[in-house]
Structure 1
Amino acid sequence: MAGAPPKAAPPERERGLRAERVSRPAGGRLVVDGVSLAPRPGETVGLLGPNGSGKSTLLRLLSGVLAPSSGVVVLDGRPLARTPRRAAARRVAVVEQHAEARTELTVRDVVALGRIPHRRAWTPASAADAAAVAAALEATGLAGLADRSWQTLSGGERQRAQIARALAQEPGELLLDEPTNHLDIQYQLDLMELVVGLPVTTVIAMHDLNLAAMYCDRLLVLRGGRAVAGGTPGEVLTPALIGEVYGVRAEVDEGPGHPVVRFLRRTPAPPRSPDGPLPPGGPRDAAPPERPPSANTDGPDEPQPTTPWGGIRP
């Protein structure tokens, strides 16, 4: 008897992970309100918005951790809620803001957790699992730290280890929740270079507008749970939108292939000189106050030592 024919691949327009007008309440209000998002295969989409705008909740809806109260999250044309959990875990990897290990694990152990969706319970790791872990460690520059304790890693190294774990899943979609928070600038850039170089579709929640402009193909801006703008960084990041969403003044210039945002002070900056801030009461080069005449009235005033403004005579 012939076996069942193989299941046809979904049409191109239905492939991948997308959200269709999803909503989710919390605390008596909608924290995500009718938001749609359809990343194109292989692109990096940045989620922007102030704290409380719904970025993290939208990521949890996309990952299946939360279920929408209305709307639907779809994976390859099929509602995510109807997709077997193991199959969804193989396709969608998540990197949370804060990852902790309660037990003593090595970096290799942490990365190997990404292989759990590919194994049956209680089965040992296979050669394919070991190869995937090794490839993920190499791709994230952690091969030399594989036997180090997770607890001894720096913040940037921990973030890379979590991305390596996600890579070991061999996903098609990668969801990251503010992965550059609390990292030095060097590690922020290193991490973003790593993420955008991965052969996956990426959705990443971010706070830094300039990092988003540098590394994201498209942006979706949320405010109060609703999508207020979407498009390329050049289309989205305008002074008007930044003022509306974040309540700050900014100028946006054209950088090398992406816009550059420059924030403006709320009040005018005080005048400065090369030697530092000017003293209160007048400019540094103002004429000194007129000196009273010397007590010696029989001749010209005795020359007096000059001092810098506010200085002390020797």
Structure 2
Amino acid sequence: MSLEAHGLDWRAGGRLILDQVSLQVPPGELMGLLGPNGSGKSSLLRLFAGLVRPARGEVLLDGAPLARRSRRDVARRIALVEQHATTDTDISVLESVRLGRTPHRSAISGWSVNDQRAVDSALDQVGLADKSARRWHTLSGGERQRVQIARALAQQPSELLLDEPTNHLDIQHQLELLELVRRLPLTCVMAIHDLNLAAMFCDTLAVLDSGRLVAFGAPEEVLTPALIERVYGVRALVSRSTRHRRPHVQYLPLTPSSLDQEPPCEPST
């Protein structure tokens, strides 16, 4: 059953950030979480991770309230990769990924064979096994994101939450990272801004607007010109490739001009 939200309200600074959000994350799929800045995407991820509790409603994990589970138990099941990855400590890639084993170890337990296997597997999955000795401050933005994902994978979660993992990455690294996430045999929820990348890589999409869930479904069902204009305030054309049947969003100018003509459709591929 994986993760479910039932009637979630969340407030911060006296403002209602999430308003009666209910949805079920499809098990084993990559779900994209869309919406403008301030729509509540990061807040919903933190509620799913059990880092904060809702003002109203509840999060369920496998049908049971998340609030009744211990922090250690939740961390063994759910891993969150937050948006800004930084540290003042000059640690190595290996040392950073080893931190992912914390939920599985007690204060007096030694480093086990299972711990090492989990770390080695995580480094292999993100393609950093040969860079485990590198120092954090020598890594590129894309490499730092992969380290963060490796640390999450070392937790051996069944649910992985990612808060805008492609931010500040160039196009190549965005594609590489999303290909990596899509291959993971986990239930994933990913907040993402780019509608075309969301359409390319996500199995389902959930759209938040001013804290409310306004759309949920397959990319071709959700990404319509009417929804894009209503949620983002921009006009767009939505076409579909005959190769992969995924929608492609083409934005139109905001103000009338010589460019404000319906562009010719690109050939389907």
TM-score normalized by the length of structure 2: 0.93
**Structure 1: any 5+ residue segments left out of the alignment?**
1-14, 272-314
Number of matched residues? 257
Asked if 1 retains the 8 angstrom alpha-carbon contact of 2:253 and 2:259, the reply is: no
The aligned residue for residue 114 of structure 2 is: 128
Shift of 1:17: 1.6
Q: What's 2:144 paired with?
A: 158
Tell me the equivalent position of 1:139: 125
Verify: 1:268 aligned to 2:257, yes or no. Answer: yes
Q: Over residues 8-35 of structure 1, what are the superposed CA-to-partner deviations in whole Å (9 max), with x where a residue is unaligned?
A: xxxxxxx312111111011222100111
1:124 Cα deviation (Å)? 2.0
Distance 1:214 1:16 in 2: 23
User: RMSD of the alignment, in Å?
Assistant: 1.2
Name 2:96's counterpart in structure 1. Answer: 110
Q: Given the superposition, is the C-alpha separation of residues 228 and 270 from structure 1 closer, same or farther in structure 2, using an over 3 Å criterion?
A: closer
Between structures 1 and 2, the one with greater helix share? 2
| 3-state SS in 1 of match to 2:239 | strand
Note the 1:32-71 alignment, pairs <5 A.
Answer: 32-71=18-57
Q: 1:125 to 1:228 in 2, by over 3 A?
A: same
Query: 2:76 aligns to what?
Result: 90
**What's the secondary structure of 2:214's corresponding residue?**
strand
Greater Rg over alpha carbons, structure: 1
Where relative contact order (Cα < 8 A, 6+ residues apart) is larger, the structure is 2
Deviation at 1:122, TM superposition (A): 3.5
The percentage of aligned residue pairs carrying the same residue is 59
Match of 1:185 among 171, 184, 191: 171
Alignment of 1:69-80 (within 5 A): 69-80=55-66
The Cα shift of 1:76 comes to 1.6
Q: Measure how far apart 1:269 and its partner are.
A: 3.8
Matched residue of 1:21: which SS?
A: strand
Shift of 1:257: 2.2
Structure 2 residue identity aligned to 1:263: Y
Please report how far the alpha carbon of residue 123 of structure 1 lies from its aligned counterpart in structure 2 after TM superposition: 2.1
Aligned pairs (5 A) from 1:118-267: 118-255=104-241, 256-266=244-254, 267=256
CA distance in structure 2 between the partners assigned to 1:259 and 1:153 by the alignment: 34
Structure 2 stretches lacking a partner, 5+ long: 261-269
CA shift, 1:87, in A, is 1.1
